């Protein structure tokens, strides 16, 4: 599990709950099921109307991805690719076939297999680049779901507020109900703002960050496979791939002899 995602949500909820408890002697006035139904029901209904059915069906899987931990070690990936370059340089590229069973990353496995099979370099790059573009598009669609939820939540908070105000104005003959009615009306706006800014938009940004990290990993794989396939010296392979690392990480890596 991604501790930054779950931990951030938990801390955010606790801080808001603490602020409510400190600001009011009766925190339960901030709990209103009708307001929650309006905001959640309206937001998800509008989002599902605007999205294709395929994205709606994948909502639970996309949400799960936001909370899953992700391997983020491009330096280790570069070391792996350089080791493959050493094998290919020493024993020939066909020798890499014996190591394909140890590769867990499907994208890297496909690239090495294409190189071992003697596929034309242009076809290798085109195949891997096209797959990367498809992955990025899929990730963009996943982020789109939460972008839309974040866009509609405040709007339905306002709609709930208007509903509450209409109901309140209908009872102006009883002034004692105005204060309570106004509080309930504003709670809906509060729910919309919290859901948009603490849940939906942060999760959209987290999915975007994960997508960029994965794209970087796969770009390293493409460059590495192409360099191995062309028979580059392992030192050259390392130098080509280390440009993807920040300067501090480059200094920690030792180029192969």
Count of the separate structural domains present in the chain: 2
Same domain assignment for residues 40 and 20: no
Predicted pLDDT at 248: 67
Q: Is 185 in contact with 121 (CB distance < 8 Å)? A: no
Same domain assignment for residues 11 and 93: no
Q: Is 108 in contact with 221 (CB distance < 8 Å)? A: yes
Same domain assignment for residues 117 and 170: yes
The C-alpha angle with vertex 87 and arms to 85 and 92, in degrees rounded to 5, equals 100
- pLDDT tens figures, 20-43: 888 878 888 888 888 899 999 999
Predicted pLDDT at 256: 47
Handedness of CA 218, 216, 247, 72 (dihedral sign): negative
Same domain assignment for residues 51 and 176: yes
| Residue 254 in this model has a pLDDT that exceeds 60 | no
Same domain assignment for residues 108 and 234: yes
Same domain assignment for residues 130 and 164: yes
Same domain assignment for residues 179 and 56: yes
Same domain assignment for residues 1 and 94: no
Selected residue with higher pLDDT from 16 and 69: 16
* Rounded Cα–Cα distance for residues 213 and 211 (Å): 5
CA atoms within 13 A on the CB side of 177: 11
Give the chain's length: 257
Region of 58 (left: φ > 0; alpha: ψ -120 to 50; beta: rest) is: alpha
Domain of 158, in residue numbers:
32-257
Same domain assignment for residues 13 and 114: no
- pLDDT tens figures, 120-171: 999 999 999 999 999 999 999 999 999 999 999 999 999 988 888 887 777 7
Section 37-65 average pLDDT: 91
């Amino acid at each position: 599990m991604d501790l930054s995602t779950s931990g951030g949500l938990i801390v955010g909820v606790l801080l808001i709950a603490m602020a409510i408890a400190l600001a009011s002697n009766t925190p339960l006035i901030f709990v209103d099921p009708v307001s929650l139904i309006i905001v959640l029901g309206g937001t998800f209904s509008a989002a599902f109307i605007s999205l294709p059915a395929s994205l709606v069906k994948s909502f639970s899987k996309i949400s799960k991805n936001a909370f899953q931990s992700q391997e983020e070690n491009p330096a280790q990936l570069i070391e792996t690719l350089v080791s493959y370059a050493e094998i290919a340089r020493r024993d020939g590229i066909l020798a890499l076939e014996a190591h394909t069973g140890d590769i867990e990353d499907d994208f890297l496995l496909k690239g090495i297999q294409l190189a071992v099979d003697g596929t034309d370099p242009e076809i290798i790059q085109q195949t891997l680049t096209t797959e990367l573009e498809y992955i990025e598009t899929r990730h963009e669609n996943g982020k789109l779901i939460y972008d839309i939820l974040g866009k509609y939540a405040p709007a339905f908070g306002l709609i709930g507020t208007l509903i509450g105000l209409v109901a309140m104005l209908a009872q102006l003959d009883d002034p004692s109900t105005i204060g309570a009615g106004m509080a309930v009306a504003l709670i809906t706006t509060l729910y919309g703002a919290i859901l948009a800014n603490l849940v939906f938009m942060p999760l959209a940004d987290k999915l975007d960050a994960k997508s960029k990290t994965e794209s970087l990993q796969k770009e390293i794989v493409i460059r590495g496979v192409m360099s191995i396939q062309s028979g580059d010296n392992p030192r050259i392979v390392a130098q080509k791939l280390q440009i993807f690392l920040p300067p501090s990480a480059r200094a920690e890596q030792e180029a192969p002899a």
